[in-house]
């Protein structure tokens, strides 16, 4: 029937669009569409029966060569029973075309071309989660699952979700061989590091086509709605015809044939029930998807399509949707990881063969692995030599765009202190050229005079002793030659500061010669 052919044709059209068996199955289920089956046994053998689409029926249609107009025999491979386990092994429901016993092209009415059939088989194989295939887009966060290839060994990099549940790309095949041969493995990299780059590049690539995408999106939605409504109209016609046929059969029954009349009456009632249920389902469908787009819907779709980034970040855009967008324009991504530095080379192979090369920075565990470590170390040395405090050095590095290992926020006072010690930079207290002639650290002078350091700080506060600060401003340096030491000893003997203040000769420091 026309309805049967249109539903089968819709399976191929939606698979070409959605690229996934489950997506096609979900489309049929959500929209209440059914598939026709011929009964193979029972009293009604050969009769057409309509059932909900199943996840097994969709791939069976896609894999069957009959729908591509080819007569085939031997496309099922029976397995052999294992005498030990009792399990049938080696069987295959659909073998590749080159393994079929008989294959004759252009012998049957075709829904699709043979080239499209082969393309569908390739896509089905790619969707399988197995070695050598990209796999179908799934709900995980990793944007490039199945697309990343290791630039060192050529293996596909698998997607892993370790203990912190943050996805990463890892070259498992090479890692296994490297461990066995005691070699350095390729390593892995956080998915977010690469995904951010790909997102920016894909959105940039789609920007010039925004207007065309806007018009195409509106056209696609309207065409899809029209197709769905046509399918529903055909279903309504079918149940109405079945109901009318059941009614005619009942009306033509002779009253004397009561048993036949009761059977036909029950069949008529069932047909009327199916008709009523189909009409109710269609009315519910109409409330969800009217036959034509309103002006507001057209404007909303157009606005979204013109702003690709808005569609990408929309709340209703799933991880699967984003992955499908990427796969429309990106063939694969080649990644070269370097465990000794934070820089990683990324090559994007676009659909059509064009290549673009990029560099991304990944979080690393040590300062030495940072790409600008030498520049940063030299800058720290300069600031330290100028006497800046640790917190001032941290603020300067943060302001100038330097980033600590593991991308842990910003530089801090404690982190700068650790880094300064690692660089072997001595503090001001330990630098030989900090003190000039007759200059003292307060602790050393206090020890020389036999007083506590607080007393000398008191003298500094009141200007009773020459002093200056180190370049960083963190430490005090006092000046005292032999004459000053004699005066300060006398001052130290005065236990009360108020009493010492009455002796100007003890609290007024001598004039210091300046060069």
Q: Are 21 and 30 in contact (CB under 8 A)?
A: no
Q: How confident is the model at residue 67 (pLDDT cuts 50, 70, 90)?
A: very high
Q: What is the pLDDT of residues 96-115, one digit of tens each?
A: 888 888 989 989 999 999 99
Note the pLDDT of residue 11: 92
Q: What is the pLDDT of residues 172-211, one digit of tens each?
A: 765 555 555 555 667 778 888 888 888 888 888 777 665 5
Residue 92 per-residue DSSP state: B
Question: How is residue 221 written in tokens?
Answer: 């939605």
Instruction: Provide mean pLDDT across the span 319-345.
Output: 82
Tell me how far apart the alpha carbons of residues 199 and 31 are, in angstroms, rounded to a whole number. Answer: 32
Phi-psi region of 407 (alpha: psi -120 to 50; beta: other; left: phi over 0): left
Displacement of CA 184 from its chain's centroid (Å) = 27
Q: Counting Cβ atoms within 10 Å, is residue 70 exposed (0-12), middle (13-18) or buried (19+)?
A: buried
Q: Are 38 and 48 in contact (CB under 8 A)?
A: yes
Which residue shows structure tokens 């009632």?
269
- φ, ψ of residue 118 in degrees (nearest 5): -65, -35
In this predicted structure, which of 342-346, 433-437, 474-478 has the lowest mean pLDDT?
433-437
Q: What is the pLDDT of residues 123-156, one digit of tens each?
A: 888 887 666 666 777 778 888 888 888 888 878 8
- φ, ψ of residue 47 in degrees (nearest 5): -75, 145
Phi-psi region of 49 (alpha: psi -120 to 50; beta: other; left: phi over 0): beta
Tell me how far apart the alpha carbons of residues 197 and 130 are, in angstroms, rounded to a whole number. Answer: 27
Q: How confident is the model at residue 158 (pLDDT cuts 50, 70, 90)?
A: confident
SS3 333: strand
Q: Are 66 and 103 in contact (CB under 8 A)?
A: no
Which residue shows structure tokens 């799933």?
318
Note the pLDDT of residue 164: 67
Q: Does the pLDDT of residue 12 top 90, yes or no? A: yes
Q: Are 127 and 135 in contact (CB under 8 A)?
A: yes
**Cβ neighbours of 367 (radius 10 Å):** 16
Q: What is the pLDDT of residues 412-445, one digit of tens each?
A: 877 777 777 777 676 655 555 677 888 888 888 8
Note the pLDDT of residue 209: 60
Cα separation values, 261 from 240, 243, 246, 250, Å: 20, 15, 11, 6
| Percentage of the residues of the chain whose pLDDT score is greater than 70 | 81
Q: Does the pLDDT of residue 170 top 80, yes or no? A: yes
Instruction: Provide mean pLDDT across the span 119-125.
Output: 89
Domain ranges in the chain are: 211-313, 367-425, 439-507
**Cβ neighbours of 506 (radius 10 Å):** 19
Note the pLDDT of residue 71: 92
Instruction: Provide mean pLDDT across the span 50-67.
Output: 89
In the chain, the N- to C-terminal Cα span, in Å, equals 111
Note the pLDDT of residue 136: 73
Farthest CA pair distance, the chain: 146
Instruction: Provide mean pLDDT across the span 308-330.
Output: 82
Note the pLDDT of residue 86: 73
- φ, ψ of residue 248 in degrees (nearest 5): -60, -40
From the list 272, 279, 278, the residue with the least C-alpha distance to 250 is 272
Please tell me the CATH code under which domain 439-507 is placed: 1.10.1660.10
From the list 431, 435, 417, the residue with the least C-alpha distance to 476 is 435
């Amino acid at each position: 029937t026309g309805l049967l052919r249109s539903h089968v044709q819709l399976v191929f059209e939606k698979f070409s669009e959605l690229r996934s068996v489950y997506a096609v199955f979900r489309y049929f289920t959500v929209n209440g569409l059914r598939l026709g089956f011929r009964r193979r046994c029972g009293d009604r053998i050969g009769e057409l029966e309509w059932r909900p689409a199943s996840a097994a029926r969709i791939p069976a249609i896609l894999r069957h060569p009959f729908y591509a107009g080819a007569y085939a025999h031997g496309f099922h491979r029976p397995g052999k029973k294992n005498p030990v386990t009792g399990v049938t092994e080696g069987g295959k429901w659909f073998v590749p075309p080159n393994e079929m016993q008989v294959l004759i092209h252009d012998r049957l009415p075709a829904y699709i071309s043979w080239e499209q059939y082969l393309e569908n088989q390739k896509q089905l194989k790619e969707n399988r989660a197995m070695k050598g295939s990209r796999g179908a887009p799934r709900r995980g966060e990793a944007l490039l699952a199945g697309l990343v290839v290791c630039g060192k060994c050529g293996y596909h990099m698998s997607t892993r979700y370790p203990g912190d549940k943050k996805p990463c790309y890892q070259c498992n095949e090479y890692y296994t061989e490297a461990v066995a041969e005691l070699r350095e493995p390729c390593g892995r990299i956080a998915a977010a590091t690469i995904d951010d780059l790909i997102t920016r590049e894909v959105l940039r690539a789609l920007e010039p086509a925004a207007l065309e995408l806007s018009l195409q999106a509106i056209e696609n939605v309207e065409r899809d709605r029209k197709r769905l409504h046509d399918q529903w109209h055909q279903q309504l016609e079918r149940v109405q015809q079945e109901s009318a046929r059941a009614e005619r059969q009942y009306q033509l029954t002779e009253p004397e044939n009561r048993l036949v009349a009761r059977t036909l009456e029950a069949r008529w009632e069932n047909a009327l029930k199916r008709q009523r249920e189909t009409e109710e389902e269609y009315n519910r469908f109409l409330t969800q998807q009217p036959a034509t787009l309103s002006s507001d819907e057209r404007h909303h779709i157009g606005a979204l399509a013109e702003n690709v980034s808005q569609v990408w970040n929309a709340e209703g855009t799933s991880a699967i949707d984003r992955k499908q967008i990427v796969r429309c324009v990106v063939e694969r991504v080649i990644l070269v990881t370097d465990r000794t530095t934070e820089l990683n080379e990324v090559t994007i192979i676009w659909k059509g063969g064009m290549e673009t090369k990029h560099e991304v920075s990944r979080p690393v565990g040590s300062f030495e692995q940072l790409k600008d470590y030498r520049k940063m170390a030299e800058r720290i040395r300069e600031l330290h030599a100028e006497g800046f405090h640790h917190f001032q050095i941290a603020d300067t590095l943060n302001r100038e765009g330097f980033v600590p290992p593991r991308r842990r926020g910003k530089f801090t006072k404690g982190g700068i202190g650790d880094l300064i010690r690692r660089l072997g930079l001595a503090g001001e207290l330990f630098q030989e050229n900090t003190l000039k002639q007759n200059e003292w650290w307060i602790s050393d002078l206090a020890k020389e005079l036999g007083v506590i350091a607080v007393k000398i700080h008191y003298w500094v506060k009141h200007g009773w002793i020459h002093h200056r600060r180190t370049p960083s401003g963190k430490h005090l340096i006092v000046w005292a030659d032999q004459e000053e030491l004699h005066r300060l000893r006398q001052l130290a003997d005065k236990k009360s500061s108020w009493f010492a203040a009455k002796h100007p000769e003890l609290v007024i420091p001598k004039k210091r010669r300046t060069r």
